[in-house]
Structure 1
Amino acid sequence: MKSVAKVMRPLSQLSLWLAGAGLILMTVFVAAQVFVRYVLNDSIVWSEPAAVILMGWFIFLGAAVGIREGNHLSFDVLVMFIPEKAKLIFYSLSDLVVVAFGFGMAWYGAQLMIAGWHIKIPSLGFSDSVNFMPLVGGGILMVIFSIERLARRAAGLPTARFGETSIED
Structure 2
Amino acid sequence: MFYRIINSLEESIIALLLAAMTLLVFVEVVLRFGFGQGLMWAQELTLHLSAWMVLFGASYGIKVGSHIGVDALVKVLPLTARRIVSGIAVLACLTYCGLFSKGAWVYLAKMYKIGIELDDMPVPKWIAHSILLIGMILMAIRLIILLWAIITGKADGFNLADEAKESMHLIQQAKAEADNGGDPA
> Does the TM-score normalized on the shorter chain lie above 0.5?
yes
Amino acid at match of 1:38: F
| Counterpart for residue 98 of structure 2 | 103
The alignment yields a C-alpha RMSD, in angstroms, of: 1.8
CA 1:146/1:68 → structure 2, altered by over 3 Å: closer, same or farther? same
More displaced, 74-83 or 150-159? 150-159
Matched, 1:139 2:124: no
Q: Which runs of 5+ in 2 are unaligned?
A: 163-185
* Structure with larger Rg: 2
What does the per-residue CA deviation read over 1:76-118, in whole Å, with 9 as the maximum and x for residues that have no partner?
Answer: 1111221010000111111112111222222212222222221
- 1:39 is paired with a residue whose SS is helix
Shift of 1:15: 0.9
Contact 2:67 2:161 in 1 (8 A): no
Percent identical across equivalent pairs? 21
| Counterpart for residue 125 of structure 2 | 128
Amino acid at match of 2:144: I
| Counterpart for residue 119 of structure 1 | 116
1:21 to 11, 16, 30: 16
- 1:114 is paired with a residue whose SS is helix
TM-score when normalising by structure 2: 0.78
Aligned counterparts, 1:74-85, within 5 A: 74-85=69-80
Q: Return the alpha-carbon distance in structure 1 between the equivalents of residues 87 and 8 of structure 2.
A: 23
Amino acid at match of 1:95: V
Shift of 1:160: 5.7
Contact 2:117 2:123 in 1 (8 A): yes
Q: How many residues align?
A: 159
- 1:121 is paired with a residue whose SS is coil
Q: Return the alpha-carbon distance in structure 1 between the equivalents of residues 68 and 161 of structure 2.
A: 9
